[in-house]
Chain A
Amino acid sequence: MSATATLLSREETLLEPPEISAPHLVEKPAVKTNPTMLPATAFEEKKGGGFFGLAAVAAWSLLGGLTLGLPDKVVGFFESWPYTHEFGVGALVFAAIWLALTLVASLSALPRPLARVVQAFRHSVPWLIVLALILAAWEVLTAKTLILEPPFFAPPSSIFDAYVNDYPRLLDSAFNSLKLLFEGILWGATVGFLVGVAIGWSKRANYWIHPILRLIGPLPPTALLPIAFVFFATSHAASVFLIALATGFPVAILSWSGVASVNKAYYDVARTLGASELFLIFRVAIPAALPQVFVGLFMGLGASFVVLIVAEMMGVKSGLGWYLEWAKGYADYIKMYSTLIVMTLIFSGLISLLFAVRDRVLVWQKGTVKW
């Protein structure tokens, strides 16, 4: 009797949610149970936010006012700087938007989507102010005073020239760059991952592949460019190969180290539970190695950008690297600035995409889990 009684009471205590042992789990629902309104912390800095919001309005009005109010100085073969008027009006439109957001932010309760926008705005305000001041200084130093002289320097307003007047060529270039890049990364990441897992898992694969990796890996793929253009039928194929090489090396090394450093106890556990060798590779080694694999992908992505642009500058007949070279041929520095901005956005976007995928795949690794 007393035995069952103690057993029962033990079970009961077990079924109660442990309060101390898993604090983050117990706290979690508190955040979730507020579907329509953001938590109060979002509105903590209401007064400061309003003040800085008006500062952003002022900064962007200043930018618009300077651009529209001060006369352009024109030199040489430029009749006038393009898009000065549109740029100034655009700045004033942004100032109006910031004003609207500042007013909305001062309301006491907001529906959730709008609250999110306001929160993002509040977060960005210091940067918006600085951005307007930089653009204003840039516009004054170039178009308004010519302290920074053309053709090497161009006002921010003129950057839009290429986007408006040469967008078919620019779009085409961006598209071709992305196509080439994806093809190379896909090959490089796939082969690199397989090679890394193979040499991490199999001693024989390690014996044969490791020395090759050690020799060829550190060689900058760009050094192979001239030869690759001869060996491959098309410059496209050569570039795909070199981009793949650049991506594949870090992916292979880090996949290898990821697989090799898996806690051996995981294998013991899986084996006593009846796991086959394939299960050990695909359900234990590879998932355990994924955090390292993503580091390899990040490094590989960076290396692939370098090879892409150099290959396009040297041989490929389209793409953003080619567009840069082409603009250089006409000494069209404005177009080069435009291209650089496009490149920045694309490459930074790709890295962000990789990190978003990583956060999704490695959700178990983060301190706080979203579900």
Chain B
Amino acid sequence: MVALAVASQWEEAHPGQSASRIQVEHVSHGFDAPSGERLEVLEDVSLDIALGEFVALLGPSGCGKSTLLRLVAGLEPADSGVLAQDGAPITRPDPSRIVVFQDPTLFPWRTVWDNVALGLEAQGILKKGKGHVDEALKKVGLDGFARAYPHQLSGGMAQRAALARALVNNPKLLILDEPLGKLDSLTRLEMQGELLSLWQKNGFSVLLVTHDIEEALFLAQRVILFSPRPARIVSEISVDRPYPRHRGDAALANLRHTVLNHLGLGKSW
């Protein structure tokens, strides 16, 4: 439903929120391996993220999902194919598309507050935006730790700070590269819920890379399955379940079975 809405209608329907449509068309990409060979990582990948849509990319580790994220973020140009944000080609990084990496990569020499303020400072709009920093910290529950240094935070808190650092820029697309991958399982479940509520409140589109099937099905509206390297899209699964979802939902369990089949792991069911 949301996927079909056009931009103006979408904004009318979601006051105060902003999102982007991302188009990836026939993108192929590779690297020069140290041995001198060409290493193909992505092979003719096409996908379309609707305004405000939550899409998860699922596939074996090392298949090239993270490379796709770097291309969408604009950190690298694609070898061939087109990437576009709201119709305009993606050529360079932009604060409207923010990446949250697996490591929080907070700058250790900055306090939590200064880390969250990084984007506004880099764009030269920190003076007006101090309130936004406080707000973002509050959103992720770190307002009591504004003056702490990153080494004093636990893994979950550090990742929350990284989320706040992304949110303060009002991104239209949040690119999540296994952001919960290094957290312990309890913190992980808790943060999945937080991620969902942030998405519902802010309305941005989300592109999530994960290799946790349950996580992908619990969070995303659409799950895209990748083959081993070079990554091709194997299948697409629409998760048509309302939020809040329940981990014990039988429909999710069935989808999980489907995903495992697609990944060649059906026998383990």
Contact = CB atoms under 8 A, between A and B. Distances in A.
Interface in A8-40: 10-11, 14-15, 17-18, 20-22, 24-25
B73 A273 contact: no
Interface in B137-178: 140-141, 143-145, 147-154, 156-157, 165, 169
A269 B103 CA distance: 11
Interface stretch (A54-62, A83-91, A275-283): A275-283
Nearest to B149: A364
Interface stretch (A69-77, A284-292, A294-302, A315-323): A284-292
B31 to A, nearest CB: 15
A344 to B, nearest CB: 34
Tell me the interface secondary structure of chain A in the complex: helix
Contacts of A6: 193, 244
Given A10-B193, A22-B148, A25-B145, A274 B119 contact: yes
A371 interface: yes
Contacts of B121: 279, 283
A365 B108 contact: yes
A7 B99 contact: no
Interface residues of A, number: 38
Given A268-B99, A371-B147, A288 B193 contact: no
Interface string B119-137: 1011100000000000000
A261 interface: no
A2 interface: yes
Contact of B119 (A14, A263, A273, A276): A273
A37 B221 CA distance: 60
Given A272-B98, A275-B122, A266 B107 contact: yes
Given A14-B141, A17-B144, A371-B147, A276 B122 contact: yes
Given A10-B194, A263-B105, A266-B105, A18 B110 contact: no
A223 interface: no
Nearest to A362: B109
Contact of A272 (B75, B103, B151, B193): B75
A290 B107 CA distance: 13
B107 A288 contact: yes
Contacts of B148: 22, 25
A267 to B, nearest CB: 9
Contacts of B140: 14
Given A273-B122, A364-B108, A3 B243 contact: yes
A272 B197 contact: no
B212 interface: no
B41 interface: no
Contact of B101 (A265, A274, A287, A364): A265
A290 B109 CA distance: 10
Interface stretch (B49-57, B89-97, B258-266): B89-97
Contacts of B194: 10, 14
A356 B134 CA distance: 32
15 contacts: A7-B197, A14-B140, A18-B157, A21-B157, A22-B152, A22-B153, A25-B145, A268-B70, A268-B101, A272-B73, A273-B95, A273-B165, A274-B169, A279-B121, A283-B121
Sort A-B residue pairs by CB-CB distance and give the 8 closest, nearest first. Answer: A14-B141, A21-B154, A273-B119, A275-B122, A274-B95, A274-B123, A272-B93, A271-B93
Interface of B: 70, 73-75, 93-95, 97-99, 101, 103, 105, 107-111, 118-119, 121-123, 140-141, 143-145, 147-154, 156-157, 165, 169, 190, 193-194, 197, 243-244
